[in-house]
Structure formats: C-alpha cells, structure tokens
Amino acid sequence: MDKIIITVVGKDTLGIIARVTTYLFHNDINILDISQTILGDMFNMMVIADMQKCTKEFGVVSDELRELGEEIGLRILTQKEEIFTKMHRI
Amino acid sequence: MINLFEVRETNKMIEQELLDVRTITLGISLLDCADADVTRLNERIYEKITRLGSHLVETGEAISKDFGIPIVNKRVSITPISLVGAGACKTPEDYVSIARTLDRAAKEIGINFLGGYSALVNKGMTTSDRLLIESIPEALATTEMVCSSVNVGSTRTGIDMDAVRLMGGIIRKTAELTADRDSLGCAKLVVFCNAPDDNPFMAGAFHGVTEGDAVINVGVSGPGVVKSALEKVRGESFEVLCETIKKTAFKVTRVGQLVAQEASRRLDVPFGIVDLSLAPTPAIGDSVAEILEQMGLQRAGAPGTTAALAILNDQVKKGGVMASSYVGGLSGAFIPVSEYLGMIDAVHEGALTLEKLEAMTCVCSVGLDMIAIPGDTPASTIAGIIADEAAIGMINQKTTAVRLIPVIGKGVGETATFGGLLGYAPIMPVNRFSCDAFIERKGRIPAPIHSFKN
C-alpha cells in the first residue's frame, strides 16, 4: 500500500467528485475511502487512496491534482498518509 | 483509518496556525579535515561539506511536498572550528579564511545558515581558541551564512571569566564592523553556558565532538498551534491548561519525528534528535508572547510571566518527549524579543524589561536572545550580562545563552532592523551602573557545589 490523502476544499459546484475520481481512475489510483461534507457553503472532501499501481511519481500526481483543482476553482491538496497517522495515532 | 476531522485539524495547523518544521540541520564532523596547511585545510573542509550536504536542500523540499508541511530552513552544523583549525591557523586571518570557505560551501549547497564557527572554552582557552575568538568580528562581517558561538561555562567546570571578558569586547567589535547593517553581525553570534552538542537551531548550532561523522537533527516549531489550542480553554483550570499544551506539543513533535526519520532515510545519515523548541519568528502569529497572553497575562513581562513560561516550557517537554524516539538540543521555549509583535509590543509599552527577561531565562530553554541594546553600551557591561546569564545556567544545570546586539549609532526607543528570519528588535535600556572592577578580575568562577540545593 502507498496511501495518499487528497483533500478538496472550495465552493460547492457540479461534478467535483466526478472530476477527481476520473483523474484517479485514469492514473490507476485506487480509492479506499471517500468522505465529504458541506461546512458553511464550503465543500470539503477527503479521499484516501492507494497509488501503488500508479506509474507517475507522487510529486507529479500532486501537481496535476492541484492544477485540476485550479481549473474548477477548488483547492486540492495531496499528502502522503503518514503525516496524519503519526500525528493522530500512537 | 484517518477521518476527515483529523485531516482538517492537521491541515488547519499548517495553513492557519503556521505549523512547520523549522529546520533540518545536517551535522558534519570536520575532525578528519584537520591539516597543518591552511590552504589544504580549506580545500578539505569545502570538499566534505559540499559532498555530504549536496542533497540536503532538495531532500528537504521533496519531504515538504510529500507531506504538505513547510520545512522552512535547511542548515549545516560543523565541528567547532577552533578544534579543526588548531594545527593550521597561526593568526586570526587564517581563521577568517576558513569562515569564507564555510560561507562559499553554504552557498554552493543552497542552505541559509551554517553554524559551528565556534570555540568551547568553558574552563580555559587554548591559543587556537583565542585566535578563533579574535577572528569572529571580521569573520561575521565578511560572510553571510556563517554563525558563531562560544561556550564560556558549564555546571561541571564553572565559568571562564577571561573568555567572558574577551567576549564582551568581541561583541562590541562585531557590532562596530557591521554598524552599517544595524550591527547585524551580533545576531549571528551566541555566547553559551552548558551548550548542547546536538542543537539544530541557529545561531548556536555546532556538531559536538561526541557526535558521529554525520547526523540529522530536526527542530520543530509551532507557537501558533499552541496559542490556538489555548484559545479554546480560556478560564479553565491549570490541569486543563497543562493537558492542552502537552497534547498540542505531542502532535507538533510527531511531525518533526516523521520528517527527521524521512530525512535520515533519504540522505542515508543517522537520525540524531528532534529539538522540541517552540521557536517563534517574525511571521504573523508565530509568537510565544501571544501564548503567554492567552494564558492570562495582559502582556508578556507582567507579574506571573515567569510562572506561565515555566508551565509552558515544562508541558512542551512532557508532551514532546513521548512523541519522539530521541529528544535533544535546546528543547523548550525560545523567547527572542525579535519575534512577531508580542514581545516587541511588551517592550514598547514598558511591560517587559531586560531584568524580567533575565528572570524568564531561569525557566525557558535558552536565554537572552536577540536583544538589541544601545550602541554605546560598554564592553564590560556586555561581559557582565554574559556572566549573569552563564551563572544562571551553571547553577541551575541548564543551557543559557546570550545573543546581544549593541546597535552602533542607535539608542533606547529606536529600532534595529535585521531583515528576514532575524526580524527587528526595539533597543532596550541597560542598567547604567558599572561592573568594570568585577569583570577585570582574571581567572575563572569555580564549579558549583551539587548539594545544598537552596
């Protein structure tokens, strides 16, 4: 497993999940869990995914997802999972 | 599995509360570079630093990108140069040539500071130590990245008052040679008592002689995260206050541990320590004074400040120690006056004085840090302040340090501006009574007794 966490934050609009998951599908990144909520009028989504079969480098995926976010007016941040597990799990 | 709430909490710390890893510092031993010829010594030092440090910056940036956490500084610490240069350097100018080599090497590998232009003289000075100390003003005036430190005392050896007296003059001379830049040279010079061998923070970092060939030390930060956590427990008991600081320090330190292990693995250099210090900066919200205010003080320096800082320092250690497999360095809370607004406002409003800062250094992690004083302060007064601070460290078995900046041409009420990470500082008044006759005495203060703790 090579787990990454993708967070998407921004104004709610049509097709956010579709756009992000399509990118992940085309890059052989397997989705393990998705959760989303609307806080205020802000769309918040978190995707836990496994990029073990992905042929692209982590940095490339991170940049491409950020650019995808800019296209649809959202902020997409991709991070390796360890920063969260280290901080929140003993 | 990690949930949305936890991810949001971490990212809020990074984006809104300025959580970052303050520095990855690569410690490099230069003992094997020693040579009898100055030119060859310089070549060997340059070669070793640029070889071992060549991937430091890019590795730091890659780790930063992977985890989405800023790693603000990438730095190098080296064996105290007075040991490395002892065989070759016959004049202060020989030492200055090494400082220039270090500066060139630092620029080549892209780091922003290199520490270890240092001498350890807690019991006495060798000829080499004295030459290095005499070269410090010129070395700091003619280089950008090189940081210098001198350890003048320890709990086990007492205080070398000859070195303290010498450093009073050296600080003044360093200020004079960089008078055109608000005496910036002094911001790169620290005088220590009980200096740690594995401190990753500048300007006092050096690679101790008890360390291995190379080591990765990481300094975390996060005053903004602690302040934000304390906003939620206003009016609660000391128990709740302490638990909140501890839990926050744990989370902050875990990030440092992760980054340290990753850097160690990718650079194939052993992991040394994580330094738990809450290190404030001139960036907005990155302030220890604001934490003290959040704890219930109108301004840093008000009665109760020493107690509040003692709580903060102790709880940061208690929370952080469990989060990391190896803790070291200065670990605690820094209280530089040049941090973001809090301390500066406290000085301007008369809440915080040099004497209160001295009291605070009894319970904080380091000492009188980044304190601008009038440019006409005599060398003996500076030496007196160093002696006071070293005595606090010696008696209380803790690290203390002095980073004073006598700002040439400026006086109380004016501001010294250093720029960048060093920020700016208000010039504080210094006690005008003389300590000349005390400082002129030769020799050293004997080591203290370790019993009768009263």
Q: Does A34 touch chain B (CB under 8 A)?
A: no
Domain ranges of chain A: 1-6+14-54
User: Is the residue at B112 inside a domain?
Assistant: yes
Are B247 and B395 within one domain? yes
Report the distance separating Cα B381 and Cα B384, nearest Å: 5
Please report whether residue B12 resides in a domain: no
- Asked if A86's CB is within 8 angstroms of B255's CB, the reply is yes
Nearest residue of B to residue A86, measured between CA atoms? B254
* Domain presence at residue B207: no
- pLDDT, tens digit (0-9, with 9 covering 90-100), for B379-433: 999 999 999 999 999 999 999 999 999 999 999 999 999 988 788 999 999 999 9
Phi-psi region of B143 (alpha: psi -120 to 50; beta: other; left: phi over 0): beta
Domain that holds residue B35: 23-193
The verdict on residue B382 lying in a domain is yes
- The verdict on B161 and B222 lying in the same domain is no
- What integer best gives the mean pLDDT of chain A? 93
Residues B154 and B237 in one domain: no
Least Cα separation, residue B65 to chain A (angstroms):
7
B65 and A59 within 8 Å at the Cβ level: the answer is yes
Q: How many domains is chain B partitioned into structurally?
A: 2
pLDDT tops 90 at residue A38: no
Residues B306 and B365 both lie in one domain = yes
Distance of CA B104 to the CA centre of its chain: 22
Please tell me whether the interface predicted TM-score (ipTM) of this complex is above 0.90: yes
Residues of B with CB below 8 A from A48's CB?
A: 1-2
- Contact criterion met (CB < 8 Å) for A35 and B10: no
Q: Chain centroid to CA A35: how far?
A: 11
Nearest to B6 among A37, A62, A88 (CB): A88
* pLDDT score, position B280: 86
Q: Please indicate, yes or no, whether residues B242 and B184 belong to a single structural domain of this protein.
A: no
Whether A83 and B4 lie within 8 Å, measured CB to CB: no
- Reported confidence tier of residue B108, pLDDT bands at 50, 70, 90: very high
Closest A-chain CA to B63? A80
End position of a domain, from candidates B193, B227, B243: B193
pLDDT at B333: 86
Which residues fall within 8 angstroms of residue B426, CB to CB, at 6 or more apart? B337, B344, B347, B348, B372, B413, B414, B415
CA distance B186 to B433: 23
Minimal CA separation from A64 to chain B, in Å: 13
Q: What would the mean pLDDT of B180-202 be, rounded to a whole number? A: 96
Residue B185 and residue B265 share a domain:
no
**Same domain membership, residue B268 and residue B123:** no
Residues B182 and B288 in one domain: no
On whether the CB atoms of residues A30 and A53 are closer than 8 A, the answer is yes
Q: Does residue B151 form part of some domain?
A: yes
CATH code of the domain containing B56: 3.20.70.20
Task: Report the distance separating Cα B341 and Cα B344, nearest Å.
Answer: 5
Q: Are residues B394 and B283 in the same domain?
A: yes
Q: Within a domain: residue B180?
A: yes
